[in-house]
């Protein structure tokens, strides 16, 4: 019984960690994309003048 609970606990913990890592990666990628777009817009605005 003890090993079964440990396996269930580790499975749930592993699943939560995987979801958390995926969510964090998505947020970081979106933030980088937004920053790159702002930098490009600034560069284009500066080059026109």
Using the structure block, give the residue that is written with the tokens 């937004």: 34
Q: Is the pTM of this model over 0.85?
A: no
Over residues 1-49, the pLDDT tens digits come to: 889 999 999 999 999 999 999 999 999 999 999 999 999 999 988 887 5
CA distance 1 to 48: 71
pLDDT of res. 14: 98
pLDDT of res. 38: 93
pLDDT of res. 18: 98
């Amino acid at each position: 019984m003890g090993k079964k609970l440990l396996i269930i606990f580790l499975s749930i913990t592993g699943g939560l960690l995987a979801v958390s890592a995926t969510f964090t990666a998505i947020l970081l990628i979106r933030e980088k994309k937004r920053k790159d777009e702002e930098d490009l817009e600034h560069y284009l605005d500066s080059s026109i003048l």
